[in-house]
Amino acid sequence: MASAATPTTTPAKMRAVQYDACGGGAAGLKHVEVPIPSAKKNEVLLRLEAATINPVDWKIQKGDLRPLLPRRLPFIPVTDVAGVVVDVGPGVKDFIAGDQVVAMLNSLNGGGLAEYAVASTNLTVKRTPEVSAADGAGLPIAAGTALQALRSIGAKFDGTGKPLNVLITAASGGVGLYAVQLAKLANLHVTATCGARNMDLVKSLGGDEVMDYKTPQGVSLQSPSGRKYDGVVHCTVGISWSVFKPLLSDTGRAIDITPNFSAILTSALHKVTFSKKRLVPLLLWPNKADLEFLVGLLKDGKLKTVIDSRFPLSDASKAWQSSIDGHATGKIVVEMESR
C-alpha cells in the first residue's frame, strides 16, 4: 500500500506554534515556519495528524518546571501526538513510511504543535485504522498516568486482581476519565467525584458511586455506601492528606498525580515511619509496553478517549487557553490541517 506521505514529498519547512519566553499564556504562543527536523538513530519522522494538550504543557511555559524545562527557547510545546511515519532514521527496523502511529515525544525537545515531529521508536506504537489520530493522541500522558496510578494501588488487568475499592477525584478530567474506565477493566469498585454536569458521563464509563464535588457529600469524599478506599487516584489539587487518611483502608494508598512540596514531604515521612496508610506522589514513567497496552484497549473498544474539543493548528492558542481554564471534560485536541 502506498504511504500517505513519503520522504520525497516532505517539504523543507513546516508550520509550528512555539513560545520564545516563559510566561505569557496563550498570548505568548507564536505561529512560525521552521525547518522540518530529521530523524536520527532510532528515531522516526512523523507527519502529525493530531496532538493533545496536557496541563504540564502550559505549566512548563509558565515556568513551573524551571530550570529543568524548557531546556531551550524558542520551544515548540506538547508531547502527545499521533500521525504517519514519513521517514526513519538509522537502525530503525520496526517502522516504515506509511505506518500510522501514536507517540510520546521527548519532553526535553517537545515538538507536538507542528506539522512534523521526530519521535523515538522507544515511545512510538503502531495503531490500526480503528484507532483515530485524535483518540490515540489522548493516551500517552493522561491514560499512562491513570494506568500507573491504578497499578500503584494494586490493580491488575489480567483477571488476577483483588476486588479493591478506589476513589477517583476530578473524574471528568483528562486523567480521571481514563482512570474510571481502567479501574472497571480491573474489576474495581469505583467511587468518583466530578462536576454535576458530568455525573452521567462518569457513571456511563463505569463509576459505581458518583458525587458532585461541590455538595457536602462530595466535599467529604466519603463513599455513599460506607466503603473504605484501598486506593485514591487523586487528580485534582487542594485536598490534604488529613482528608484522605480516615477514608482509607488499613493499607490504603492515596496516589497524588500532581504532588506539591508538602505532599512529597508527607510521603517521605510515611516511608521512614513505615506507615501502612501512605500518600504516594506519582511521576509518570513513560514506556512502550504501557502505550501498546493502551492502544490495544482502544482498538478493541475496551477504552475510549473522551474528547472535549477540537481545534485546528491555526487556533492552537484557543486550545491552550481552554486547557489553562481547567474546565475541559476529557481531552483537548489540536488537529493539523493538510495543505
Residues 187, 120 within the same domain: no
Q: How confident is the model at residue 4 (pLDDT cuts 50, 70, 90)?
A: very low
**Inside any domain, residue 103:** yes
Could you tell me the CA-to-CA distances from 169 to 113, 197, 252 in Å, in that order? 29, 15, 16
Task: Please give the Cα distance from 331 to 226 (Å, whole number).
Answer: 32
Q: Is the pLDDT of residue 121 over 50?
A: yes
Instruction: Tell me the per-residue pLDDT of 170-191, one tens digit each, with 9 for 90 and over.
Output: 999 999 999 999 999 999 999 9
Within-domain flag for 93:
yes
**CA angle, 260 then 263 then 265, to 5°:** 110
Residue pair 24/61 in contact (Cβ under 8 Å)? The answer is yes
Same domain, 39 and 167: no
Query: What phi, psi does 278 have (nearest 5°)?
Result: -140, 145
156 and 70 within one domain: no
40 shares its domain with 165 = no
Tell me, what CATH number does 57's domain have? 3.90.180.10
Looking at residue 228, the DSSP 8-state letter turns out to be P
9 within some domain? no
Considering the domain boundaries, does residue 136 fall inside one? no
> Cis peptide leading into 70, omega within 30 of 0?
yes
| C-alpha span between 41 and 44 (Å, rounded) | 9
pLDDT tens across 221-249, in order? Answer: 999 999 999 999 999 988 999 999 999 99
Cα–Cα distance measured from residue 195 to residue 260, given in angstroms and rounded to the nearest whole number: 24
- Global pTM? 0.94
Pairing of strands 209-212, 278-281: unpaired
Domain with 70, as residue range(s), is 15-20+27-126+306-335
Residue count of the chain:
339
Whether residue 338 is predicted with pLDDT greater than 70 in this model: the reply is: no
pLDDT in the model for residue 123: 97
6 pLDDT band, cuts 50/70/90, is: very low
- pLDDT for position 9: 66
- Rounded to the nearest 5°, which phi and psi values hold at 214? -90, -10
Question: Are residues 258 and 318 both part of a single domain?
Answer: no
- 163 and 120 in a single domain? The answer is no
Same-domain pairing of 199 and 105:
no
CATH code assigned at 161: 3.40.50.720
In tens, the pLDDT along 129-153 reads 999 999 999 999 999 999 999 999 9
Q: Are 189 and 163 in contact (CB under 8 A)?
A: yes
116 and 195 in a single domain? The answer is: no
Strand partners, 161: none
Asked whether residue 172 falls in the same domain as residue 264, the answer is yes
122 and 146 part of one domain? no
Q: Domain check: are 315 and 256 in the same one?
A: no
Q: What is the CA radius of gyration of the chain?
A: 20
> 286-315: b or e for each residue (b if 16 or more CB lie within 10 Å)?
beeebbebbbebbbeeebebbbbeebebee
Residue 88 lies in a domain: yes
Q: State whether 106 and 149 are in the same domain.
A: no
Q: Is residue 239 part of a domain?
A: yes
Number of domains comprising the chain: 2
In a domain, 61, yes or no: yes
Q: Which residues pair with 192 in a beta bridge?
A: 168, 210
Domain boundary among 281, 298, 317: 281
255/282 Cα distance (integer angstroms): 6
Q: Is residue 213 part of a domain?
A: yes
